[in-house]
Structure formats: structure tokens, C-alpha cells
Amino acid sequence: MAADGMRRDRATSGTSMEEIAGKLATAGRILAREGHRDYTRGHVSIRLPGNPERFVMKSQRFGLEEVTADNVVIVDLSGEKVAGEGARHSEAFIHSEIYKARPEVHAVVHTHPIHAVALSALGKPIQPLGQPSTVFSSGLPVFADTIDLITDAARGAAVARCLGPHRAMLLKNHGIVTAGASIEEAVYFALVLEDACRLQLLVEAAGGAGSFFPAEEVAALGRRLASPAIAETTFAYLARCAAAEAP
């Protein structure tokens, strides 16, 4: 049944499951290499090309960098697995509810990077302390309802509402969520968010920021740095770095 569903989705999408799994594996290797590894927790999804009501993510027992065509599952927008071997992640509702709310989003990342979790625990808003931080000058919502996992549709919908139209958000004492028009964008936003949080922790530990540049200048740089071209270039560069390190 599951294999039939996988074959049917493969046929209707025009993109092979191997290609989608390859993208997810590259994204996972990049994220793991850049500080987003938390054992088997954390996941990346891609909306299924040709079927916006479904998305693909790794199954639960594998790490970010272990994705293959054999361990991905297809999930529908109710959060139910419709094809693939292995259990879907319990937090699949983060993805399903964001895809429901944001038709322009084609990839979602949820990870638990340590600096972002630490900054969320401080309870202070993100500050424009460096170039990565400017990407979030248009807003970085914080979901503070629970430290627990997002394991049902109601909680997933609350996360999606909190994210609103933004690129990224913090889940307080838990992790991050990013949303992009492509997997390159979603991964790039996750990387620069963790960079921005790490920078802010360093500044906070040293006594806090002395001054800030004007908000309009910060916002203009943030718009430029959030461009799809920069996301694609960064993703391609880090994919080469990850491939060069592969055993």
C-alpha cells in the first residue's frame, strides 16, 4: 500500500523520489555540518512537486544527514503518513500546518540548534548585531506556549499562526522553524538564524550592544541578504563543502 502510494506520487509529480530524497539529504548534511544536529531530532520537508497537498520528509529513526529514497515518507496536510516505510516524525504537524497556511512555501526546516535555543531562553528579541541578524529585521516571532513537542494539528496551527508571513521563528526553549519558497531558502534562513543567535549571545555575554545602525539601513540589507540568489549560492557552496567531506 505504502509502496503503491509512493509510486503513484512519483508518477504524478514528474520528479523522482530519488531526486527529492537527494535534495533532502544535501539539506540535512548541510544543517548537520553547521550545528543543527540533535541526534535524530530535527527535520526538513519539501512540498511534493505536482501535489501541493502532500510533502516529503525523512522518517523518524534517521538523522538529518542520513536521508535516502528508502527512508522518506510522504505526509498529507492533515499530518498523516500516506506513503513510505517507517514512522513519520511526531512533529510533522509543524510542516503540515505551515503548508496549509502558506501556499507559497515549498520547504520547511525545524531543528534544535543550541545557540538559537539559548537565545530563546533569554527572552530577548533578536537585535541587528551583524549581517545575518538583518535577515530577521522584518520580524522573528517567538512561540512560547510550550517547551513540549508539537505533536498535534492544533499545536501545529498555533505555530503556523505565530510564524505568520515571516521567514523564521523561534520556539522558546525548543528550536527554530524556517519557511522558504525553496529548500535552498529554508535551509539558508535556518543557517543565518543560528549565526545571528550565536552572535547575539556573544554580545550579550560581553555586556550587550553599544549602539545600532538605523532601522532602514538594517532592513535594506536584510532584504538583499534574504534574496533567493544568495540562498541558492550559499546552499550550493555548502553542498560542495559537505560532499568534499563525505567518506
Residues of the shown chain interacting with Zn ion in the complex, contacts defined by CB under 5 A = 175
State how far the Cα of 223 lies from the Cα of 40, in Å rounded to an integer: 33
Which candidate, 228, 206, 140, places its Cα nearest to that of 176?
Answer: 140
- Spatial separation of the C-alpha atoms in residues 49 and 225, rounded to whole Å: 27
Rg (the chain; Cα; Å)? 18
Q: Which is nearer to Zn ion, 84 or 175 (CB)?
A: 175
Q: Residue 113 or residue 175: which is nearer to Zn ion going by CB?
A: 175
C-beta of 23 vs 43, nearer to Zn ion: 43
* 128 versus 175: smaller Cβ distance to Zn ion: 175
Q: What is the DSSP letter of 87?
A: P
Supply the minimum distance, in Å, between the C-beta of residue 7 and Zn ion: 31
Comparison of 79 and 175: residue with beta carbon closer to Zn ion: 175
Minimum distance from residue 246 beta carbon to Zn ion (Å): 26
Tell me whether residue 79 or residue 222 sits nearer to Zn ion (CB atom).
79
Taken in order 119, 160, 233, 113, is the CA torsion positive or negative?
A: positive
Alpha carbon distance 206, 170 (integer Å): 23
CA–CA distance, 233 with 84 (Å, rounded to integer): 31
Least CB distance to Zn ion at residue 244 (A): 30
Cβ at position 28, least distance to Zn ion in Å: 15
- C-alpha triplet 210, 215, 221: angle, nearest 5°: 105
Chain position whose Cβ is nearest to Zn ion: 175
Q: Least separation, in Å, of the C-beta of 10 and Zn ion?
A: 29
39 SS3 class = coil
Tell me the closest approach of the beta carbon of residue 113 to Zn ion, in angstroms. Answer: 11
